[in-house]
Structure 1
Amino acid sequence: MDCKKVKKVFKVIGIKGVGAFVNFGTEVPKLAKQFLTRLDKIENHSGIEIALFEPKRDANHLEGHYYVGVIVNESIKEVPVGMDYIEISQTYITTRGKINNIDNLHDQLLKWADDQGYKRDLESHIVETYHPIENSEEEVEIYLPVHL
């Protein structure tokens, strides 16, 4: 698995969801499907799906927010009704792999961060981008925010 540190800017049009962290695995894809029915309303999008997640800070932090959306190529002046424009610039540690292996990818990235001495930034969104590959499979690229 290839892990690295990157500085990245994400420009996103998306819709916000809120719920229990334990339900993100089902709630996020459901909201993403709803969002995709409105994709034709968004100008200048890249076609790359994205999700931003509030990090779980500790065991008592049970609910959080997230955004599902699409990466846009430049800043948007007119945002469709019910959607938000978000632009974030951050230093991340990142890795990419098959989406059906997402839990293991997160675990390995966290271990790598620990081995490298990186400290997670729990005030910034975790980012995942989704990339279709052959045989109707999908890869996910995970970006965990870190302090410099």
Structure 2
Amino acid sequence: MEEVNSLKIKGVIEVSEKKLVGFRVVCDDMKGYAEEIPKTSLLLNRRKDEIKNLIEPVRLYGAFKATETLEEDDGYWVCYEVYDFEDVPAGMVPLRVPAQKCAVLGFKGHSSDIFNVYPHLHRWIDDNGYKRSTDKWTIEVYSKWTSNEDEVDLCDPIY
């Protein structure tokens, strides 16, 4: 495994279908996302007891498409994974992410730096003969998130 500072390439994995419940964030620019996503994750954490069928209440998911082909795919989803969709709480939305192959990079640091980390993953994908599937869901899996530091696996879909 390759390590660069707080980055670790974890390789290629098959990610099973994910059923996610949470909030959709839509902003006009990256600065808006940088401000709204942390606020939304805190709101979701406060309301997680309202979500039925939670799989791991300590694992937060972010999901987005690098290229939105449809208006309903625009934005960033802050979610928890569930076994099944049941009585989705008011204001929240369900999101089904199909099974897909992903290149995975582990990152430990502040969430505001994540945007700058993706070029490392994209370079690894290119260097290893894969192509990005920008029309599929990129998934960010947070195992720790605080105001100072996050631990996240960035899962970029490939073929």
Q: TM-score, normalised by structure 2?
A: 0.76
Q: Which amino acid aligns with 1:38?
A: R
Q: Structure 1 regions of 5+ residues with no counterpart?
A: 58-63
- Residue equivalent to 2:80: 70
Structure 1 residue 56: deviation in Å?
A: 4.6
Cα distance in 1, alignment partners of residues 40 and 149 from structure 2: 20
Q: Structure 2 regions of 5+ residues with no counterpart?
A: 1-7, 69-73
Cα distance in 1, alignment partners of residues 28 and 67 from structure 2: 10
More displaced, 38-47 or 97-106? 97-106
Identity among equivalent positions (%) equals 26
Cα distance in 2, alignment partners of residues 21 and 144 from structure 1: 21
More strand by share: 1
Cα distance in 1, alignment partners of residues 103 and 117 from structure 2: 12
Match status 1:50 vs 2:61: yes
Match status 1:140 vs 2:140: no
What's the secondary structure of 1:93's corresponding residue?
strand
Cα distance in 2, alignment partners of residues 2 and 54 from structure 1: 21
Q: How many residues align structurally?
A: 139
Could you list the structure 1 runs, at least 4 aligned residues long, displaced by more than 4 angstroms after superposition. Answer: none
Provide, for residues 75-123 of structure 1, a one-character-per-residue CA deviation record: whole Å limited to 9, x for no partner.
Answer: 1232112222222121111111203253453221111001012111111
Cα distance in 2, alignment partners of residues 103 and 69 from structure 1: 19
Asked if the contact 1:55/1:122 (under 8 Å) is kept, the reply is: yes
Match of 2:38 among 29, 47, 56: 29
Asked if the contact 1:3/1:109 (under 8 Å) is kept, the reply is: no
- Residue equivalent to 2:28: 20
Give the RMSD, CA atoms, in angstroms: 2.2
Q: Which amino acid aligns with 1:128?
A: E
Match of 1:111 among 110, 115, 123: 123
Asked if the contact 1:21/1:56 (under 8 Å) is kept, the reply is: no
Match of 1:3 among 4, 10, 16: 10
Q: TM-score, normalised by structure 1?
A: 0.81
Cα distance in 1, alignment partners of residues 28 and 11 from structure 2: 30
- Residue equivalent to 2:138: 126
Asked if the contact 1:96/1:105 (under 8 Å) is kept, the reply is: no
Cα distance in 2, alignment partners of residues 125 and 20 from structure 1: 20
